Amino acid sequence: MDAAALPELETPRFKALVSQCIHCGLCLQSCPTYDVFGTEMDAPRGRIALMRAASEGRISPEEFSGAFSKHINLCLSCLSCQTACPSGVNYAELIETTKVALDRHHRQGVGERLVRWVGLVQTMPHVGRLKAIARLLKIYQVTGLQKLVRRLNFLPGPLKAAEAILPPITTNYRDYSRSAPAIGEKRGEVAFFIGCIQEAFLAPVNEATIRVLQRNGFEVHFPKGQTCCGAAQLHIGEEGLARDLARKNIDAFAGYDVIINNAGGCGATLKDEYEDLFHDDPVYLEKARAFRRKVRDINEFLVENLNERPTGLVPLRVTYSDSCHLRHAQKIVRQPRDLLRIIPGLVLVELRQPDRCCGSAGVYNIVHYETADQVLDAKMADIAATGASVIVASNTGCHMQLVAGVRRAGLDARVMHVVELLDMSYGRSSGKEAN
């Protein structure tokens, strides 16, 4: 740690935010890391107490580098505590500010700097490079090498965790140089946020999203210059990188009135984080405010703009696992369920705790894979009890984490997005099986 204190935590605003916590403890039972460890410092209330101590200058340099950093970084940032809080504590801003401050004053080793540079700078913002990696991993999957690697079980922890979340990869990528026309009467135009990991590793979800929008009368545009949303960068405190990506996306979508995204984590970043990134930049602050007003999650958009009701039979027993940032950050809870319930033949079985985190949280399931696995095990036990053959998710990280969870729990189930099931119903209503 380069500094004896974290000045970012000693500002009047930060002190005012931590003072909102009344230490009632209602957040504890909603917190997945408290559920795993059972310790006060691994619960929102305890972490806020640590933040308050830091804001008052009561944390030593050794503690910043040790226990303080450990307990803060073990937070999943799922924001379930924010939903549970009766005092309206802005935990999202508190934990993000603290993680950014820790990262800013943390003396990174050569290996850590290299990993961050390769992953966050040279790979994630470049979807073409991600697709190249995906094509190689497709070969890895179809040749049987994946089965061999998993059987031998020789990969080190973080790499093993990254390999475990790989979904079955489809590399038949769309050409995004042309817009997708509306089917039938044109009702409007939308711009689609393609994403990075979503496009490279879960391309069928993007394809289904586009087809469903077309089917409901929307012409879909794909603005050039768009890039990664910056969520993964923010999760580990790389605020500067996230700000650079935000500028590119704000500029790329400037000419469009509606921006559709289909990933809860990306949407929360686009809606809620961009404005905070530019509090010292009045020009981009106004642009960010205009941008956020145009961003719509695909679930909320379709509930309001569904023109063609699905009629094709989809006889599946499904359960829906809420994306933390879709539910707790964007407050989108009812809409995905409403869409699922109108699909003929589909039976929706609710989880006992649908809002509990799956343990993905950006790169958390790779960096803190042991804790993430414990969080995931609780989620999969809940899923298994439903007897569902399909687990529905509305976020890229959740989708991939649940793929790992299905294998880990030995379940005969697959993971799908809401739009994939809608697309399936549309395809069957026209006498064709969906791809």
Q: What is the mean pLDDT of residues 180-209?
A: 95
SS3 415: strand
The DSSP output letter for 42 is G
CA-CA-CA-CA torsion sign (122, 126, 128, 131)? positive
CB burial of residue 301 (10 Å; 0-12, 13-18, 19+): buried
Matching CATH topology for 188-303 and 310-429? yes
Tokens for 156, please give them.
């080190």
Cα-based distances in Å from 165 to 43, 57, 360, 396: 26, 41, 9, 11
CA–CA separation, 385 vs 32, rounded Å?
Answer: 19
Q: How far apart are CA 196 and CA 207, in angstroms?
A: 14
Confidence of residue 108 (pLDDT cuts 50, 70, 90): low
Confidence of residue 109 (pLDDT cuts 50, 70, 90): low
Q: What is the pLDDT confidence band of residue 1, given thresholds at 50, 70 and 90?
A: very low
**How deeply is 273 buried, as exposed, middle or buried, from its count of CB atoms within 10 A (0-12, 13-18, 19+)?**
buried
Residue 431 burial (10 A CB sphere; 0-12, 13-18, 19+): exposed
* Among 23-27, 124-128, 240-244, 291-295, the least confident range: 124-128
pLDDT category at 431 given cuts 50, 70, 90 is very low
Which pLDDT value is given to residue 101? 85
CATH topology of domain 188-303: Rossmann fold (3.40.50)
CATH pick for 310-429 out of 2.60.40, 3.30.70, 3.40.50, 3.80.10: 3.40.50
Give me the pLDDT at residue 430, please: 57
Q: Is 304 exposed, middle or buried (0-12, 13-18, 19+ CB in 10 A)?
A: exposed
99 pLDDT above the threshold of 80: yes
pTM value is: 0.91
| 403, two tokens | 């793929």
- What's the whole-number mean pLDDT along residues 309-331? 95
In the chain, domain spans: 7-105, 110-164, 188-303, 310-429
Look up residue 253 and give its two tokens: 């979508």
CATH T-level assignment (fold) for domain 7-105: Fumarate Reductase Iron-sulfur Protein; Chain B, domain 2 (1.10.1060)
Q: Mean per-residue pLDDT for 412-433?
A: 86
Give me the mean pLDDT over the 353-377 stretch: 91
* H helix or E strand, kind and range, residue 142: helix 127-142
Angstrom distance (rounded) from CA 420 to CA 280: 41
**For 373-390, what is each residue's pLDDT tens digit?**
999 999 999 999 999 999
